[in-house]
Chain A
Amino acid sequence: MARKVSTNRKLLITVLAWGIGLLIFFPILWTILTSFKTEGDAIAQPPQFLFFNWTMENYGIVQERSNYLLFAFNSIVLALGSTFFALLIAIPSAWAMAFAPGKRTKDLLMWMLSTKMMPPVGALIPIYLIFRDVHLLDTRFGIITVLMLLNLPIIIWMLYTYFKEIPGEILEASRMDGASLAKELIYVLTPMALPGIASTLLLNIILAWNEAFWTLALTTKDAAPLTQFIASYSAPEGLFWAKLSAASTMAIAPILVLGWFAQKQLVRGLTFGAVK
């Protein structure tokens, strides 16, 4: 029987949830508002919330100075490309670890995760030299490879956790019915783990979209994504907040829209297996 919750308690919880939600969203809201201010209004003290001279000037300047569409296109290609290739490797890997574990599977998983603990700058020069020698600097293929390798440990871990929730007997049954390994993966495992795969896919897209260290270090113009677009608008000398906010708003808009439409899948996937 469901526990009865008083109206006051419901109200309190609702207000609290909205409060926390707004607090988390506030930096994004502030960025969007600042993008419509003049540089003078952007640094005004006390800060101006809504009553300022609204202007689209910053968006005009950003459009004029940068080829936004090329940066956005590169971001999309890099995020989708790295996610696609990562899933291609991660699904079979996670299957093997979840359903056919060996003696060292746990150690292998821990080792993979430990690679995320290494500061990326430690690997910058070797990777830069390799990229130089194989002519992968400033290429989409090169940066897709790096992003894929970068996020692979997390993806394998996530999928492994989801796959562990699926009873192995179902897969066994499919095998007894004559399903090949490929069919077992595609027609049995994937549909059952779809919420988990969907959330992994979305999370990986977001991680790849936001990745700044490698995308800034290994690209210059042809493969440069939106992180580089943003980096061209902050400045240690001179006023830049309004223009930077306009550039940031343009950079986060696509992923914000994707996140909004995919929030159900994200929540479903992230809570998959949480309640038994």
Chain B
Amino acid sequence: MKAVVTGVLSAFAFAALATTAIAETKLTIATVNNGDMIRMQKLTDDFTAANPDIKLEWVTLEENVLREKVTTDIAAKGGQFDVLTIGTYEVPIWGKKGWLVPLTGIDDQADLIPSIAGALTVDGKLMASPFYAESSMIMYRKDLVAATGMTMPAKPTWNEVKAIADKITNKDKEIYGICLRGKPGWGEGGAVEGALGNSFGARWFDENWKPQFDSPEWKNALTFFVDMMKADGPPGVSTNGYNETMALYLAGKCGMWIDATVSASALTDPKQAKFPDQVDYAMAPDTGNGNHGNWLWAWSLAIPAGTQKNDAAQKFVSWATSKHYTELVAAKEGWAAVPPGTRTSLYANPEYAKVPFAKPTLDAILAVNSAQPSSQKTPYSGGQYVAIPEFADLGTTVSQIFAAALSGEKTVDQALAESQDAATRVMTKAGYIK
């Protein structure tokens, strides 16, 4: 009898221990559905092998749906997610509101590219760890530029870009000198227009938050943009977003495209591009003032303040943004597939240096000054956006007005006057100005 009791008790004890040993922490990770993030999901066996007590559950969504969902959840402290994928626009705003947990134990934090780390730091604390980062640059067809008898400078001005675009354009053959986004939306055409404004020395607000669309800099920038796109752009610029513009470039219809550095991998992919061997890169244009207006964006992993699983979440974020992960991707899928733009050590790696768009990407990122995006003094940080909560709506409104100027529905003067009114209304209502 004693043996039976001992046996039963031992079995219970063993079961209890076993249950404790396999007690799992489930992490729910909300992520955007781009190629790099999908690749990460496939490689997470490496993480779970080292952390068998952590189970990963993914909620993968389109960027805009994800943004709405995550914003609702974090604002309402819904606690549905343990790790979030967010961008450089959200991090400073959410960080200041106390919605994010400061990150500890990030692998070799000093190795993060300073401009990226700076954009993700609030009050000296890293609030999100960059998974991949991008800036903007010129991507152009070498053959079409060569046919004009001109050469693309490494750091061209807007006038030089327009001169080349004028020569390339052959509308009868559906070849357009330059393709740019113009579709309404702060992350669509608004990103290009904001960056263009910065390179012309324009700013959204002066040091007292007074809107500046009535300034000569904005007039020069928008007039140049509208004139150039009318002369050298494809039809329907005002409705072309990133995907539409990329499709035009991939089909060989654009001489130049100024957009996200991450696009380079698609343009050199023979499965997607018509002229994959003819791509070259240059710095985004300036007006001779040294401000190239190139933007900065980093999809980053952050931990919401409402999570109950901070330790496990910290471990995961550290793994996904580590040097070890970079090496894992390189070993499995090659160096060209490695998430770009986040670590200095990646660009010191001789293997990665062989990737054609590695150096232009780094040069573009290093040229960014998020703290002072325009050559005039600004009270805000950002680049293609202004890092204030009101910007998402205002940026979209202004880009809608600019799209009307691109399509010819409004003159440049009308568009700027309406933008000034809209910005004044928003900033007054939000209490920035009286």
Contact = CB atoms under 8 A, between A and B. Distances in A.
Contacts of B76: 125, 128-129, 132
Contacts of A217: 68-69, 72
B28 A238 contact: no
A224 B63 CA distance: 17
Interface string B68-82: 110011011111110
Given A129-B76, A236-B242, A228 B28 contact: no
Given A45-B251, A129-B76, A236-B243, A231 B61 contact: yes
Contacts of B68: 216-217
A219 to B, nearest CB: 9
A221 B418 CA distance: 43
A115 to B, nearest CB: 21
Given A221-B57, A239-B243, A233 B72 contact: no
Contacts of B260: 237
Nearest to B187: A236
B242 A237 contact: yes
B79 to A, nearest CB: 7
A106 to B, nearest CB: 37
Given A128-B72, A128-B78, A216-B69, A236 B33 contact: no
Contact of B35 (A38, A40, A125, A238): A238
Contact of A232 (B60, B75, B242, B262): B60
A43 interface: yes
B80 A220 contact: yes
A2 B344 CA distance: 85
A23 B246 CA distance: 29
B193 to A, nearest CB: 16
Contacts of A39: 271-272
Interface of B is mostly: mixed
Which secondary structure dominates chain A's binding surface? loop
B412 interface: no
Interface in A32-74: 38-40, 43-45, 65-66
Which of A38, A43, A44: most chain B CB closer than 10 A? A43
Contacts of A66: 60
Contacts of A231: 61-62, 65
Given A45-B251, A231-B61, A238 B78 contact: no
Interface string B223-243: 000000000000000000111
A132 B72 CA distance: 11
B243 A137 contact: no
B247 interface: yes
B38 interface: yes
A40 B275 CA distance: 13
Contact of B77 (A38, A132, A236): A132
A258 interface: no
B34 interface: yes
A227 to B, nearest CB: 10
Contacts of A65: 38, 41, 60
A138 B35 CA distance: 26
A225 to B, nearest CB: 13
B72 A239 contact: no
Interface residues of B, number: 42
B266 interface: yes
Nearest to A124: B72
B64 interface: yes
Contacts of A236: 62-64, 187-188, 241-243
Given A45-B251, A235-B63, A138 B266 contact: no
A31 interface: no
A66 B262 CA distance: 25
B178 interface: no
A216 B59 CA distance: 11
A234 interface: yes
Interface string A229-252: 001111111111000000000000
B80 A239 contact: no
A238 B38 contact: no
A100 B75 CA distance: 47
A237 B188 CA distance: 10
B21 to A, nearest CB: 25
A231 B266 CA distance: 22
Given A43-B247, A44-B251, A237 B61 contact: no
A126 to B, nearest CB: 10
B59 A220 contact: yes
B172 to A, nearest CB: 16
Contacts of B272: 39-40, 239
B301 interface: no
B78 A38 contact: no
B244 to A, nearest CB: 9
A242 B330 CA distance: 27
A133 to B, nearest CB: 10
B284 interface: no
23 contacts: A38-B271, A40-B271, A43-B247, A44-B251, A65-B38, A65-B41, A66-B60, A125-B76, A132-B76, A132-B79, A216-B69, A220-B80, A220-B81, A221-B59, A224-B59, A232-B62, A234-B62, A235-B34, A235-B243, A237-B63, A237-B243, A239-B243, A239-B272
Interface of B: 28, 30, 33-35, 38, 41, 57-65, 68-69, 72-73, 75-81, 187-188, 241-243, 246-247, 250-251, 253, 260, 262, 266, 271-272
